[in-house]
Structure 1
Amino acid sequence: MDRTETLPRNTIMPLSGLKQRLSGRLVLGTASVATVILTYVWVTNLSDNNPALLPPISDIIGAFFINLDNGNLVSALGASLFRVVMGFFIGTSLAVLIGCLIGWYKIAEYLFDPLIEAIRPIPPLAYIPIIIIWFGIGEFSRILIITIACFMVCVVNVIAGMKNVPQVYVDAASTMGATRLQVFRTVAVPAATPFIITGYRIALGAAWTTLVASELIAAQNGLGYLLQEGRRYFLTDQVMMIIVIIGAFAFLMDRAFRKIQARLMVWSEARE
């Protein structure tokens, strides 16, 4: 018998199959985006469309270059990215630390799990009034709201990952003399990595969705501020432009995480 016949069917993907899969994914993805854009163009070109309510793409592109030329867009994007990155980093770091402890050590679960389950259903935006009262309207308050949002959605995935570590891995490591701490560090955390990275991706979405609300706290800069400015002065094209930019950056950052996940999870059977 040929030795290659004993290999699992999903061990190696033929190069031609991989290229075909990527090509098909690109074509379908491009087609879906093009369909949305063409539909929007068709609607905005209807005779009864009000450009003040639904601006054509040319006006949205024009608003982009206007804000780019006067420096408002670059400044706002830099401020918003700083808030998103800081809130995401702090929130997910705490989520991984606390989630791993809760998912692995019973005493940590007994201490922290009731607290997390009690406050998890509370929307992060509900904390805005009390955060303003406690910390004022500075940059710290805006980052704190994003941090809370990222932590709450990520910690659940981390706990689930730690609790779903295959028992056979734990038994094998223990049989070879590994201590509980060594099993935690070298077996449990790596085995929970797919759940942790999924938590990162969900937290990234939460960071962007919370960003605009956090920038309503007397922010003088940021994408949320430009949204508010567009609403105040009825600049619908500017509002649409900011929405597209937020979606584009969130999409690119999520794709970056998917690439990282694919590199780290080469041993996993999960498919992108």
Structure 2
Amino acid sequence: MSDVTVSAAPVATPAVRGRGLRVPHWTTLLPWVVPALVLLGWQWGSSAGVVPAAILPPPTDVVDTARSLWSTGELQSHILVSLRRIAIGFVIGAAIGLLLGFAVGLSRIAEGLFDRTLQMVRALPHLALVPLLIAAFGIGELPKVLLVTLGVIFPVYLNTVSGIRTVDEKLVQLGKSYGLSRVQLIREIVVPGAMPMILTGIRYALGVAWLTLVIAETIATREGIGYLAQNGREMLRNDRIVLAIVLYAGAGLLADQITRFIEARVLRWNPNYRKGER
């Protein structure tokens, strides 16, 4: 009887795994179906006059505008300025959010000192601080970077704290029974267990960062994708406004895909993040 059981197990396991890893190739096209339909409907609606082209220019006009701006170097300049603002603000905000999140998640003293204050600050709409930041720091780069930083801190902070507190206590006790020090417990058990929530917070924070930058770049600026939209509004060039919207959407999608790639690499031990199961 035991021989039958042992011989059956190796046969069943590969079959289950094989079924789990077989992903039809056509599923890779699914995410592009809706965007393609939207583009086709947009082009048809503008060309047929269903939607006035003066209000919503067709995609071909937007592409022509992008090509024209690219040839002069203006488009590259605006994109690089926005990317620089996002990168600086996001790195600073994520670092602060992670630092505070680990401190509060691992220490009751830190929680008593910081959490309530942070929750009160989180309740303030950071976009409402735009006039105050401009009054305090002028119209340079600092107010824009600060706004992005403020938008990033709290999603990262909250998800880091939640991730640490959802780590299975039995795993922590098991680590202690094996003689792991506090630093080793954090590195080997707490951080891997909290990482899915932390990365979720980072993904959400990236979206908030781009949303914040949209507002920041439409106020008192001469560079960036937001300035391109603002300039289009002043010149009654809706094609430039739509181009700016498309650039923001594309940048947000790219940032999300990069984060997903990092998730797949960092969380390879987690079955939910293995290739072929996402």
In the superposition, the TM-score normalised over structure 2's length comes to: 0.90
Does residue 216 in structure 1 map to residue 218 in structure 2? yes
Does residue 107 in structure 1 map to residue 112 in structure 2? no
* Residue of structure 1 equivalent to 2:88: 86
CA contact (8 A) 1:161 1:194 kept: yes
Q: Which amino acid aligns with 2:207?
A: G
- State the alpha-carbon separation in 1 of the partners of residues 51 and 19 from structure 2: 51
* Residue of structure 1 equivalent to 2:3: none
Q: Which amino acid aligns with 2:258?
A: A
- 2:171 maps to which of 169, 172, 186: 169
Q: Which amino acid aligns with 2:54?
A: A
Pairing of 1:193-204 with structure 2 (within 5 A): 193-204=195-206
* Residue of structure 1 equivalent to 2:22: 17
Higher helix share: 2
CA contact (8 A) 1:100 1:189 kept: no
Q: Which amino acid aligns with 1:215?
A: E
CA contact (8 A) 1:102 1:108 kept: yes
Superimposed CA distance per residue, residues 162-184 of structure 1 (whole angstroms, 9 cap, x where no aligned partner) = 11111111101111222334322
Deviation at 1:5, TM superposition (A): 5.2
Q: Which amino acid aligns with 2:121?
A: I
Q: Which amino acid aligns with 1:90?
A: I
- State the alpha-carbon separation in 2 of the partners of residues 97 and 179 from structure 1: 20
Q: Which amino acid aligns with 1:218?
A: A
- 1:185 maps to which of 182, 187, 201: 187
Deviation at 1:8, TM superposition (A): 9.4
* Residue of structure 2 equivalent to 1:54: 56
Change beyond 3 A, Cα 1:38–1:163: same
How many pairs are equivalent? 268
5+ residue gaps, structure 2: 1-5
CA contact (8 A) 1:162 1:189 kept: yes
- 1:127 maps to which of 126, 129, 132: 129
| 2:61 alignment partner, SS class | helix
Change beyond 3 A, Cα 1:240–1:176: same
Identical pairs, percent: 32
- State the alpha-carbon separation in 1 of the partners of residues 185 and 20 from structure 2: 37
| 1:45 alignment partner, SS class | helix
Change beyond 3 A, Cα 1:48–1:161: closer
Deviation at 1:41, TM superposition (A): 1.5
- State the alpha-carbon separation in 2 of the partners of residues 100 and 268 from structure 1: 22
- State the alpha-carbon separation in 2 of the partners of residues 9 and 116 from structure 1: 51
* Residue of structure 1 equivalent to 2:44: 42
Q: Which amino acid aligns with 1:101?
A: A
Change beyond 3 A, Cα 1:29–1:180: same
Deviation at 1:186, TM superposition (A): 2.8
Change beyond 3 A, Cα 1:49–1:179: closer
* Residue of structure 2 equivalent to 1:4: 10
Superimposed CA distance per residue, residues 186-234 of structure 1 (whole angstroms, 9 cap, x where no aligned partner) = 3212211111111111111111111121123421100000010011111
Superimposed CA distance per residue, residues 222-261 of structure 1 (whole angstroms, 9 cap, x where no aligned partner) = 0000010011111101111111111112111211110110
Change beyond 3 A, Cα 1:56–1:6: closer
CA contact (8 A) 1:91 1:148 kept: yes
Q: Which amino acid aligns with 1:4?
A: P
Q: Which stretch has the larger CA shift, 122-131 or 180-189?
A: 180-189
5+ residue gaps, structure 1: none
Change beyond 3 A, Cα 1:7–1:16: closer
* Residue of structure 1 equivalent to 2:232: 230
Q: Which amino acid aligns with 1:133?
A: A
- State the alpha-carbon separation in 2 of the partners of residues 16 and 170 from structure 1: 32
Deviation at 1:32, TM superposition (A): 1.3
Q: Which amino acid aligns with 2:83?
A: L
